[in-house]
Amino acid sequence: MRGVPVSKMLRFALRRILQFIPTILAITLILFLLLNILPGDAALVAGGAQDKGVDPRYLEEMKKLWGLDQPLHMRYLTYLKNLAQGDLGLSYLRREKVSTLIASRLWPTLKLALVAMLIAVGIGIPLGFFSALRQGSWLDTFSMVGAVSGVSIPQFWLGLLLMFFFAVKLPLFPTSGYGDGAVKHILLPAFTLGVGYMALLARTTRAAVVEILSTDYIRTARAKGLSELLINRKHVFRNALILVLTTAGLQFGSLMGHTVVVEKLFSWPGIGSLMVDSIFMRDIPITQGCVLLLILVFLLVNLAVDLLYAVIDPRVEYR
């Protein structure tokens, strides 16, 4: 914090949080319009049958229950009002609150994303850092080939391969499922999810360090006769981290998005698999809730990154 008054920090945090609100509003509007603009056969789905034998009076009742008889703008306002109270609506098919359904799936998804991120950060950043320090070495070549491959590999395919080699051929891990929540269940899916992110972090870190190594202040530090170790630790790593953090935050959304595929592949009981199932059942309130939640997690992470940025980098102005 370097002597920055706490009240100043708080004000910065508050302003940043306030900026967050219009973004969320715009996103809810886009999603609401997108998912609700199609002609209301939702009541049919809710009525439990797409066939023509449904009693029209029953349908009217269903429409009323989900507020589908209201005009679109009224429905959006109601949706917003409920949203502000943490109410995401009622599932068409399961007759349960979407918020309850999502709440039970939230922890598995967050756990998966967190472990994936830990793996990615723990391997990607050191790899990028040491590659940059030893440019042209075998480590550099290896990790950069690995990085471009990691960005290009389809995650569900990587997951399938890992599943085949480490769960079928060598039965070290279970093929899929959440199990009792033990570590061995999460390693394959988390690694699968983390690989792309890891590759990205390695590339970004390497680029940042290479750039920093050519700056004047490193030359000065060297000229002063500081040891390489000290230079690397005090100057290079710290400054590179600031650059890497931004990319890490911006690309976290991609990681959240890919939880959908990885969860489906490994039958992981998270938000992503709930969302895919809801799409197939045309249960729009659930889809809407899941999409919103995935975006929200992404935005919150970026908010956290911005705040962290201010803590790490003393040059950031608390405007």
Partner 1 sequence: MKEAFKKIRRQKNLMVGGIIALLVVAMAVFSPWLAPFHPIDHADLMHSEEPPNRTYLFGTDNQGRDILSRVIYGSRVSLSVGLVSQGLNSLIGIMLGLTAGFIGKRWDDFVMALTNILLSIPSLVFALAIMAVLGPGLINIFLALGFTNWAYSCRITRSQVLFARSLDYVMAARALGYGQVRIMFTQILPNIVGPILVVATLGVAGAILIEAALSFLGLGVQPPTPSWGGMLSQAREQLFTAPWISIFPGLAIFVTVLGLNLLGDGLRDILDPHTTRQRR
- Taking the complex as a whole, the smallest distance from the CB of residue 171 to partner 1 amounts, in Å, to 12
Measured from the CB atom, the residue of 226 and 282 that comes closer to partner 1 is 282
Residues 91, 99, 192, 204: which binds partner 1 (CB under 8 A)? 204
Question: Can you list the alpha helix ranges (DSSP code H) found in the chain?
Answer: 6-36, 42-46, 56-65, 72-84, 98-133, 138-152, 155-163, 183-213, 216-223, 228-230, 238-265, 271-280, 284-312
Alpha-carbon distances, residue 109 vs 272, 273, 294, 319 (angstroms): 8, 10, 9, 35
Query: Which two structure tokens, joined as six digits, stand for 134?
Result: 């030893």
161: contact with partner 1 by CB under 8 A = yes
Residue corresponding to tokens 């023509």:
52
Measured from the CB atom, the residue of 207 and 226 that comes closer to partner 1 is 207
- Taking the complex as a whole, the smallest distance from the CB of residue 56 to partner 1 amounts, in Å, to 25
153: contact with partner 1 by CB under 8 A = yes
164: contact with partner 1 by CB under 8 A = yes
Q: What angle, 0 to 180 degrees and rounded to 10, lies between the N-to-C axes of helices 284-312 and 238-265?
A: 160
> Which positions from 274 to 303 touch partner 1 by CB under 8 A, shown as an x/- string?
-xx--xx-x-x--x---x--xx--xx--x-
Which of 207, 286, 304, 183 is CA-nearest to residue 250? Answer: 304
Query: Which two structure tokens, joined as six digits, stand for 119?
Result: 């793996």
77 CB contacts (<8 Å, ≥6 apart)? none
Amino acid at 22: P
114: contact with partner 1 by CB under 8 A = no
177: contact with partner 1 by CB under 8 A = no
Neighbours of 287 (CB within 10 A): 21
Residues 48, 154, 177, 181: which binds partner 1 (CB under 8 A)? 154
- Taking the complex as a whole, the smallest distance from the CB of residue 48 to partner 1 amounts, in Å, to 20
Residues 185, 236, 258, 310: which binds partner 1 (CB under 8 A)? 258
- Taking the complex as a whole, the smallest distance from the CB of residue 11 to partner 1 amounts, in Å, to 23
Measured from the CB atom, the residue of 164 and 314 that comes closer to partner 1 is 164
Residues 34, 230, 304, 312: which binds partner 1 (CB under 8 A)? 34
133: contact with partner 1 by CB under 8 A = no
Residue 91's Cβ-count burial label (10 Å; 0-12, 13-18, 19+) is buried
Structural contact between residues 177 and 185, judged by C-beta atoms closer than 8 angstroms: yes
127: contact with partner 1 by CB under 8 A = no
- Taking the complex as a whole, the smallest distance from the CB of residue 216 to partner 1 amounts, in Å, to 19
Alpha-carbon distances, residue 311 vs 13, 22, 239, 254 (angstroms): 11, 25, 13, 25
Residues 48, 257, 312, 314: which binds partner 1 (CB under 8 A)? 257
Please state, in angstroms and rounded to a whole number, the distance separating the CA atoms of residues 285 and 71. Answer: 17
- Taking the complex as a whole, the smallest distance from the CB of residue 187 to partner 1 amounts, in Å, to 18
Which of 188, 107, 203, 186 is CA-nearest to residue 155? Answer: 188
Residues 127, 265, 274, 310: which binds partner 1 (CB under 8 A)? 265
Residues that bind partner 1 (CB under 8 A): 23, 26-27, 30-31, 34-35, 37-38, 135-136, 148-149, 151-157, 160-161, 163-164, 168, 196, 200, 203-204, 207, 211, 247, 250-251, 253-254, 256-258, 260-261, 264-265, 275-276, 279-280, 282, 284, 287, 291, 294-295, 298-299, 302
